């Protein structure tokens, strides 16, 4: 008896170059996975970072993206402005004297310094939203998102099982509320899929 075997389908691709992300310019970007690790049925196109199955079936799809938000630039010009304030106490001790500590100093330098400290107390962490989604023919079919601290690199991943038709276009879309970079490297940013044996 002759078995009707369907060719195995599985691929994995990794990101080989860092991808700049600017939230205000392009809120939703396709993640580029430029390097194929393997592709059993020649269904992944690294030039357009798209998986196009050649057979109908049930597929497990996983995508991961690591993102490093940009650090905000601090204004160092204030260091050169300290001597322009007219308060004698501030000129001498830069608001560290007993007089200033008691909040009697009303000069602009001390007001700004105090205001800055209060802001830090109330907003020690700056958060933003980020998401990664698996899109099929332009539609979001699964998504993972969350709130993250701007001071650290994050890793987002999404895994789903979908019924795909031959010729469907599967892509990975990233979005964030902060500027930064989608990081390169096989363990950090990758895209993969495998077809399950099924009568589909």
Residue 197: predicted pLDDT: 84
Q: HSE, CB side, 13 Å, CA atoms: give it for residue 61.
A: 26
Average of per-residue pLDDT across 168-191:
97
How far, in whole angstroms, is CA 164 from its chain's centroid? 27
- Residue at 97 is within a domain: no
What's the whole-number mean pLDDT along residues 24-35?
96
Residue 84 in any domain: the answer is no
Position with higher pLDDT, 118 vs 134: 134
User: What is the reported pLDDT for 23?
Assistant: 95
Q: Is there a domain that residue 66 lies in?
A: yes
Residue 161 lies in a domain: yes
Is residue 77 pLDDT above 50, yes or no? no
On average, the pLDDT of the chain sits at: 83
pTM: 0.72
User: Any alpha helices (H) in the chain, and if so which ranges?
Assistant: 88-93, 98-101, 108-122
Residue 109 lies in a domain: no
Q: Tell which wins on pLDDT, 200 or 36.
A: 36
Give residue 143's domain range. 10-70+127-196
| Count of structural domains, the chain | 1
CATH number of the domain enclosing 21: 2.60.120.40
Could you tell me the two tokens for 167? 């010729």
pLDDT in the model for residue 7: 76
Mean pLDDT, residues 91-96 taken together: 52
């Amino acid at each position: 008896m002759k078995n009707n075997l369907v060719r195995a389908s599985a691929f994995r691709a990794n990101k080989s170059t860092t991808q700049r992300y600017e939230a205000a310019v392009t809120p939703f970007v396709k993640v580029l996975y430029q390097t194929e690790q393997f592709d059993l049925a020649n269904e992944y196109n690294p030039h357009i970072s798209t998986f196009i199955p050649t057979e109908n079936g049930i597929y497990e799809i996983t995508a991961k993206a690591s993102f490093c938000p940009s650090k905000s630039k601090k204004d160092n010009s204030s260091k050169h402005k300290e001597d322009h304030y007219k308060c004698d106490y501030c000129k001498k001790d830069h608001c560290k004297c007993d007089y200033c500590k008691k909040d009697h100093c009303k000069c602009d330098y001390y007001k700004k310094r105090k205001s800055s400290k209060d802001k830090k107390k109330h907003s020690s962490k700056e958060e933003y939203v980020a998401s990664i989604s698996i899109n099929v023919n332009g539609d979001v079919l699964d998504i993972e998102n969350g709130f993250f601290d701007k001071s650290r690199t994050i890793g987002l991943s999404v895994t789903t099982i979908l019924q795909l038709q031959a010729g469907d276009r599967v892509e990975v879309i990233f979005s964030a509320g902060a500027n930064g970079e989608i990081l390169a490297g096989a363990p950090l940013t990758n895209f993969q899929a495998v077809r399950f044996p099924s009568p589909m």
